Structures are given as C-alpha cells and as structure tokens.
Amino acid sequence: MPKSKRLMELMMTVNRKRRFKVQELADEFGVSKRTILRDLQELSELGVPLYSEVGPHGGYQVVRERVLPPIAFTEGEAAAMFFAVHALRHYSSLPFEAESASALSKFYLHMPGDVRDRIDRMKDRVDFVTPTRRGDAPCLAVLLDAAVRQQVLVVEYESKEGAAQPRRIQPVCIYANNGLWYCTAYCYLRQGFRVFRCDRIREAAHDGSGQEPLDLGDIGLSRKGATPPREPVRLRASLTRSGVQRCEGELWLGPMLRVGEDGSGELEGSVPRGDVPFFAEFFIGMGKNAIVSEPAELLEEIRTQLADLSAKYRGGSEPATSR
C-alpha cells in the first residue's frame, strides 16, 4: 500500500477507534510497529490531536475533537457547501455558532482564487432569507446536547407576559422555523410533550434532583411516538389555497394538514383544550383563508376575540365580554 494511502486510512482508523495500541494498528495494516510510530508522528504534525499513555495498559488516544480526513470537492459542491453555511448568518443564535463561522472561513480561504471570485459574485445573486429576530437563544447548545444524550434539564422559561417560571424538561429536538428556534421536549410539569420557544429559555442546566430520564430514543423531529394531547378536542377547518400555503409554513400543523388536488385543503386533528385561545388567535390572523367548523369552544373563542377587537376600534368602548 502506498504511504499516502496508508496515512489517509490510518487517519480514518484512529478517528474511528479513538483509543488504540500501536501493535493493533501494525497488525491491521501489515507493517512494523516502527512504521506505525513514524506514521503517527506524521499525523500528529498534520494536526491530528494524539497523545500517548505509558504503562502496561497504555496506548494512544485521540483527544479533543476528531479531525476528518481531507475531502475533495468539485467547484459546484464547494460553492453549495459555502452558501449552506453562509445562510446561517441570518440567525442571531446557533447551537454551533463558532464552528459554523470557522467552517465558512476554512472553505473560503482554501479555495482557489477563481472560485472565491465566483462566490463573491454569487453573494449578490443568491440568498436564503430568514426573518431577522431581535431575541437571542443562548441555550441552544445545551438543549441540543441534552436531546442527543436524553438528559433532563431545569430551564427558566418566560411566558408571553414576560413572567419567568422554572420548568423541568427533557429535550427531544430543536429546529428553526421562520427565524425562530423551537425545542420539542417532554415537560414534567404538564406531563406531556410541549414545544418551547428557545429565545424564551433564558437559562438551562442539568437537573440534579435525581429525576430519571424517559426513554425517548424513538421520538425525533417527526414526533413519532409522542403522547396524545391532554383533554383533547377535535379541530376541523377548511382552507383556501392561500390558507394551505400559510399552514405549510407552520411545522406544528403538518400532521393535521390535508391538501386537495386543486391546492385547497383542510386541517383535522386533536389539539389540547387549553390551546383553544391560541388557535382562535391563529385563525383570526388567517382571515378569509380559513373557516373553522369545530370544535364549538373554538368557534365561541373566535367570536369573543373578534368582539373584543371590534370594541377597541369603536372609540374605546368596553370589551364585549370580560374573561
């Protein structure tokens, strides 16, 4: 095997193993221990973070983050990767903010000059626009790590009114939508799955109460396996084509959305009774592009909110009802 190929395969091997003995690698590659030691020295000089441990159980270990082997990109692939990372600049917070900036810099600086010139020209021709949000989400990295490791967190969560409340949650996933970050998590207070606005999570720390984590390994972004809503009510609404397009932009409506051949559609599914005021506000914002047929509680809430809104534009008269 040529030395260059052996070094490449050795880099991938030590990244995979993390801990290893020189003799193991010598046997695997069919070379002497002295040759492997020279190869490891070259990898170390190339930036692979290795350190050795002495003693009868000693060996080598890859420290910190593993280094990926070199990857050959075509010009088009390099441009696509650059703009994929470049698009993240619209978010005020990222779970890997420093890493994305570093990756973008490496891509740009190590490209040939003509490719950089092409990318510079493309910057004014293509973008992935995301609404700019004022609030940051400082706990994204902690939330993502807890979701991967299935750990319980104690978070300080702000309500719409601004009041902070401690919550014990077990994150399932985080996702960005319309410029905002959301965290799907099991809430031990509500005893069910909830979606939290990440910019309202001001603090997050690992729970020290001894709460046993749930086994949520089969639940991810699709919410597959999630528990049904508490005190469910059946929601049904018909949508115009414009209404369908609006609902397609709301990920949480995906499981309830049905689209017809003409582009119109309907929403049908079970929602928590306690979310009726939220859905009333949402459908009022849809205007004539949505017509709710059930539940009766939602129809009544829509009428009430519309009456209160109408009263505000009749010269400051008292709201139609007091809630």
252-281 pLDDT tens trace: 788 899 999 999 999 999 988 888 999 999
* Whether the Cβ atoms of residue 61 and residue 19 lie closer than 8 Å to each other: yes
Q: Which of 168, 271, 170 is nearest to 228 (CA)?
A: 271
Specify the CATH number of the domain 3-62. 1.10.10.10
- Residue 228 pLDDT grade (very low, low, confident, very high; cuts 50, 70, 90): low
Distance CA 249, CA 242 (A): 11
The stretch 30-59 carries a mean pLDDT of 76
The predicted structure's pLDDT at residue 77: 83
Mean confidence (pLDDT) of the chain: 83
CATH number of the domain at 232-312, out of 2.60.40, 3.30.70, 3.40.50, 3.30.420? 3.30.70
* Rounded average pLDDT over 100-118: 81
Q: What is the pLDDT confidence band of residue 229, given thresholds at 50, 70 and 90?
A: low
pLDDT for the residue numbered 55: 53
What pLDDT is recorded for position 268? 95
CA distance 166 to 203: 9
Out of 59-63, 175-179, 188-192, 276-280, least confident range: 59-63
pLDDT band at 170 (very low <50, low <70, confident <90, very high): very high
Q: Which DSSP symbol is given to 111? A: S
HSE of 286, CA atoms in CB hemisphere, 13 A: 27
The residue that leads in pLDDT, 13 or 237, is 237
| Identity of the amino acid at 149 | R
Structure-model confidence comparison of residues 5 and 294, the more confident one: 294
Q: Does position 185 have pLDDT exceeding 80, yes or no?
A: yes
pLDDT of residue 319: 54
Is the pLDDT assigned to residue 9 strictly greater than 50?
yes
Tell me the domain boundaries of the chain: 3-62, 75-122, 133-227, 232-312
Helix (H, G, I), strand (E, B) or coil at 286: helix
Sheet strands (E) in the chain: 19-20, 50-53, 59-62, 153-158, 164-177, 180-187, 192-197, 201-206, 232-239, 257-259, 265-272, 290-294
Q: Is residue 224 very low, low, confident or very high in pLDDT (cuts 50, 70, 90)?
A: very low
